[in-house]
Amino acid sequence: MRFLKLTIVAISVVAFALTTAFTNIVQSRGGQARAPADSDHQTSRDRFRHNGEIEDEELADFDDRQSHSGGEGDRLRGPTEAPTGFDNLTNGFTEQGPPFETINEDNVIPLRSFNDNRFIFEEVEKVGDGLGPTYNAQSCRECHQNVATGGASQIAEHRTGRVENGGFFESLGGSLVQSRATHPDIVERVAFEDDIRTFRISMNTLGNGFI
């Protein structure tokens, strides 16, 4: 009996020592041991944290350009900031044109200048001008005018499509569903098969002039 008691005491001492050693190892490798659920949450959070040095992409790209150009003037001048802000002025790729307030339906010339194209973009169309049979608005600016002509807006477009064999396909006629029509019998309707349906804010077109 005495031998059995000594054996139990010895086993308890060894178990305690092993537990203490294991705890110290875990703490030295990253803190206290976590429950499985806590560990999963921590792993999810760690995915959005960097665990090393973050390379300065702009600086790396700039250094790469300088190594190819090799010009002393380029190294001293540095990168050029992209223009910011929009004020209905041309970016230089096309002429500004005549004063916008002087342009009307009689003297506008498509593609002649920025102001001519802006007038056409903002012009309200009617059926006699070719509007329809389906449409979303009577003028381009109704969906693209924030903060200047050609910008985005609070207007939501209806987009639809479907998935077949793992691939996405737009609805027949395109993913954009026109919300209006010149006659009630021809209003666009979404097919039952096109079960992917969503609303998207009308896109910004201000950067197209740089492409």
pLDDT in tens, 129-153: 999 999 999 999 999 988 888 888 8
Cα distance from N-terminal residue to C-terminal residue, the chain = 92
Residue 138 identity: Q
pLDDT band of 63, cuts 50, 70, 90: low
Answer yes or no: is pLDDT of 35 > 60: no
Is 199 inside any structural domain? yes
Half-sphere exposure of 78 (CA within 13 A, CB side): 4
Domain count, the chain: 1
Percent of the chain with pLDDT over 90: 42
Nearest to 90 by CA among 80, 81, 76, 100: 100
For residues 190 and 161, give the distance between their C-alpha atoms in angstroms, rounded to a whole number: 9
Is 135 inside any structural domain? yes
pLDDT band of 92, cuts 50, 70, 90: confident
Q: Can you give the pLDDT at residue 154?
A: 85
Is 18 inside any structural domain? no
* Containing structural domain, residue 177: 124-210
| Angstrom distances, CA of residue 20 to CA of 26, 27, 32, 39 | 10, 11, 12, 21
Is 158 inside any structural domain? yes
Nearest to 125 by CA among 136, 116, 114, 115: 136
Is 133 inside any structural domain? yes
Is 45 inside any structural domain? no
* Predicted confidence (pLDDT) per residue in 172-204, tens digit: 989 999 999 999 999 999 999 999 999 999 888
Q: Tell me the whole-structure pTM to 2 decimals.
A: 0.55
